[in-house]
Amino acid sequence: MTRAEIKIAGFGGQGVIMAGIIVGKAASIFDRFHATMIQAFGPEARGSACSTQVVVDQAPIAYPYIQRPSILVAFNQEAYELFEPQLRDDGLLLYEEDMVTLRPNQRASLKTFGVPATRIAEEVGRAMVQNVVMVGFFAAFCDFLSYESVQKAVLDSIPPATKDMNLAALKRGYDHGRMVRAGNGVGAGA
């Protein structure tokens, strides 16, 4: 694996920062990678734009900032509009398909896959676990992290009382990603 530069973005309150924390923990604590995470958000607690950037590498990370992410996880339209142009030409775009409409002139060189994360989260029990659905979807496309490490990171990051709901959300997102990936003939992921 070479360095993976991941941007996760959406609105405050969607669990964007927690998604980045889970990915970073999965990589650095439960798998054997180095990882850094930097977060950015507006002064409002909810509703403002927020993002996190996670760098994962086998080697120690001397520079934790990303310029051209290899992976973008977009929770909403604003995140897509703002960060898709920064995505590398061969990048992977994962998005909440009920919240993001791809541009008609979307770059053909990008691998783009959507998931109805909010609908899946509501089916699992609460819309607030859409971030964990998105993390599961991400894990299905991310061959450098094991599902087990992501699962452990979720359990390490959430309140114990929400364990069953979050594990169900993770599994549903992951299963959806594996189905989408297989249906599109996608081989080894990012």
Answer yes or no: is 166 within a domain. yes
Distance CA 128, CA 22 (A): 15
Domain of residue 59, residue span:
4-99+107-183
Write phi, then psi, for 34 (nearest 5 degrees).
Answer: -95, 145
Residue 153 predicted with pLDDT over 80: yes
Q: What's the pLDDT at 43? A: 59
The verdict on residue 145 lying in a domain is yes
Q: What is the pLDDT of residues 27-52, one digit of tens each?
A: 999 999 999 999 987 655 566 779 99
Average pLDDT value over all residues in the chain: 92
Q: Which residues contact 76 (CB under 8 A, 6 or more apart)?
A: 9, 10, 11, 14, 96, 99, 100
In a domain, 189, yes or no: no
The CATH number for 168's domain is 3.40.920.10
Residue 131 lies in a domain: yes
Give the count of domains, the chain.
1
At residue 59 the predicted structure's pLDDT band, cuts being 50, 70 and 90, is very high
- Select the more confidently predicted residue: 95 or 47: 95
Residues near 52 by Cβ (< 8 Å), separated by ≥ 6? 7, 8, 9, 16, 17, 19, 20, 21, 37, 38, 39, 40
- Spatial distance between the Cα atoms of 119 and 115, rounded to a whole number of angstroms: 9
Three-state SS for 60?
coil
Mean pLDDT of 82-107: 95
SS3 percent helix, strand, coil of the chain, rounded to 5, is 45, 20, 35
Q: Which residue has the tokens 């993976």?
A: 4
Q: Residue type for 20, please?
A: G
* pLDDT, tens digit (0-9, with 9 covering 90-100), for 100-149: 999 999 999 999 999 999 999 999 989 999 999 999 999 999 989 999 99
In a domain, 188, yes or no: no
Residue 190: inside a domain? no
| pLDDT at 24 (0 to 100) | 96
Q: pLDDT-based confidence at 13, cuts 50/70/90?
A: confident
Is residue 164 predicted with pLDDT exceeding 90? yes
Q: Name the pLDDT band for 189 (thresholds 50, 70, 90).
A: very low
